Amino acid sequence: MKSCSSRKRWRLAKNVTIKNRRNQLVFTSVTFLFLAVTLLWPLANLFTTTLADVSISDLKETFARSSLQKAVRLTFIQAAFSTIAALAIGLPVAHVTTRYKFWGCTALRSITVVPFVIPTLVAAVAIRSTFDFFGVDDVNPLFAIVAAHVFMSIAIVTKIVGGFWATLHPALDEAAQLLGATPWRRFVRLQLRLLRPAIAAAATVIFLFSMTSFGVIRLLGRNSRTLETEIYRYAIARTDFETAGILALLQVVLVAVLAYVAARLQRRISTPRHQTVTHTKQKIMTWRQRIYVLAVCVSVVVTVIVPMAALVEKSLRVGEQFGLANYRRLSQPNDLLNVTPLDTLLKSLLFAAAATLLATAVAGIAVAAIRHHGSAARILETLVFLPLGVSSVALGFGYLVTFTFAEFRSSPWVLPLSHALLGLPLVAAAALPALRSINPTLLWSATTLGASPTRIVSSIVWPLTRQAFFAGALFAAAVSLGEFGAASFLSRSDTSLTAPLAIYRLSSQPGDVLRGQAMALSVTLAAIVGLLSYVAEKMRSARTASIF
């Protein structure tokens, strides 16, 4: 009797394992299929077209160019500085907004996302105005680049690390306090240690993002050259596809190595732990805390709010006065665009909705596959982060030579697809640390108690990762609304004019009216993302449930 039941249980366990394996295979295949279609196939196609006649000596000759070595060096230097600066400014913001209760706290965190959506052309204007505001003349180009990258990517830190921070259970900290650890020691040895996976994920995203940054380098770098701008220069100004192809391949290899190292690191530092989804904020009690919170607020004001305010000011300027005329004109037909700027905004929102759903869905499947051990999962994780670091020119041109069937390459639907490709790593970066820190005993206990896999997902996994998924989805939406990456190098049907394109078009002709509308449209775009971000934060604070 006894042996029978244990055999039964063994069989049950075996069934579960088989089922897990099967699910794992399905998840891996779906993710891989998505990446194969949207990333690998176009890139492979492009490289076979452009690099067909390249010999080893060509490679040697290209790599020996001092201009290229200089560009590679600057690529890494600016990306490293940008990452460090964004972390240095973003971490205290993440800390303050998750640990302290004060007026405007949610708004403070929400607003950091806003610059993410601003088209680089306009972001550059904001940064320049900020330098003017503080009376800084003749800015060092590297400093300007780093400042712009911090402005645009500080949200990655505040959202990914902040969201993770909120789930650290206060009991740990309280225990440490009880045992006599000083606040500094508690912060360094406990909090920071536990936060490592989220910090690493944020750092990876910012580093790759800065590596392939294009508009910022061009507009603020005073003719500085990075790998990405060199690829553009060879492909466009010189129509030297061979050299451009070699550089793009070099970039892919470098990014893949980086992403692989990051994936390994992630695995090493992720530890399951006690988690909470309750709010663990404390009131500001001491003067010390008050000064600290105030200092952090000032840093956000300087890096995010002042640049944004400069744009708002420009959008409100009507001739010599201030008014709402530019905003009213958004709903009026425009001489230049054939449609109203509002139409382009609606189109952008539609594409963003599609891209966000697709990115979040694929990311959900991807992280389910990646969280397992083994080399397949590690390679998949590397691939998932690859889109962030692949040259936009290369990928856009890859689409051009690949999606020729039924002219899909210039159909409006290729846009959400290419946006989703960029959204995928952002959602994954937010969700993975959260997923990995779920205590497995929690899942085992649930299984032993007879919970079905769907029940486990809905009652344990989802509540503990929901916040991270929402943060990631917000980034995916912002990326789509701001149209970075390959999409900017695709050809567009005239009927799919989106808001960022309209902003560029309106800025490409002299005239105050056009300029005013471009600014008003940018601010509206930013306001939409700010609002979305605020609502998401509020929804989170409304939830109270605790899991140990």
CA torsion 222→224→228→229, rounded to 10°? 60
Interface pattern 319-338 for another protein (x via CB under 8 A): x-----x---------xxxx
Site for another protein, residues 29 to 48, rule: CB under 8 A: 30, 34, 37
Rounded least distance, CB 300 to another protein, Å? 24
Q: Does 544 bind another protein (CB under 8 A)?
A: no
Q: Does 348 bind another protein (CB under 8 A)?
A: no
Name residue, tokens 């303050």: 96
Q: Does 128 bind another protein (CB under 8 A)?
A: yes
Interface pattern 154-193 for another protein (x via CB under 8 A): ----------------------------------------
Rounded least distance, CB 284 to another protein, Å? 35
Rounded least distance, CB 337 to another protein, Å? 7
The length of the chain is 548
Of 144, 108, 127, 126, nearest in space to 313 by CA: 126
Q: Does 282 bind another protein (CB under 8 A)?
A: no
Q: Which of 257, 413, 535, 539 binds another protein (CB under 8 A)?
A: 413
Query: What are the CA-CA distances from residue 352 to residues 292, 356, 407 (Å)?
Result: 37, 6, 22
Site for another protein, residues 382 to 411, rule: CB under 8 A: 397, 400-401, 404-411
- Closer to another protein by CB, 236 or 531: give it: 236
Q: How does 135-146 read in b/e, with b if 16+ C-beta sit within 10 Å?
A: eeeeeeebebbb
- Closer to another protein by CB, 10 or 322: give it: 322
Structure tokens at 445: 């206990």
Give the H or E element holding residue 318. Answer: strand 317-318
Q: Where are the alpha helices (DSSP H) in 100-169?
A: 105-111, 120-133, 141-156, 162-166
Q: Which of 414, 421, 435, 528 binds another protein (CB under 8 A)?
A: 414
446, 456 in Cβ contact below 8 A? yes
| Whole-angstrom distance, CA of residue 199 vs CA of residue 209 | 15
Site for another protein, residues 475 to 504, rule: CB under 8 A: 488-489, 491-495, 501, 504
Query: What are the CA-CA distances from residue 69 to residues 65, 226, 386, 521 (Å)?
Result: 7, 10, 22, 40
| Whole-angstrom distance, CA of residue 380 vs CA of residue 25 | 12
Amino acid at 459: S
Site for another protein, residues 416 to 435, rule: CB under 8 A: 416-417, 420
- Closer to another protein by CB, 27 or 100: give it: 27
Site for another protein, residues 58 to 77, rule: CB under 8 A: none
- Closer to another protein by CB, 44 or 294: give it: 44
Site for another protein, residues 430 to 459, rule: CB under 8 A: 454-455, 457-458
Rounded least distance, CB 223 to another protein, Å? 6
Q: Does 24 bind another protein (CB under 8 A)?
A: no
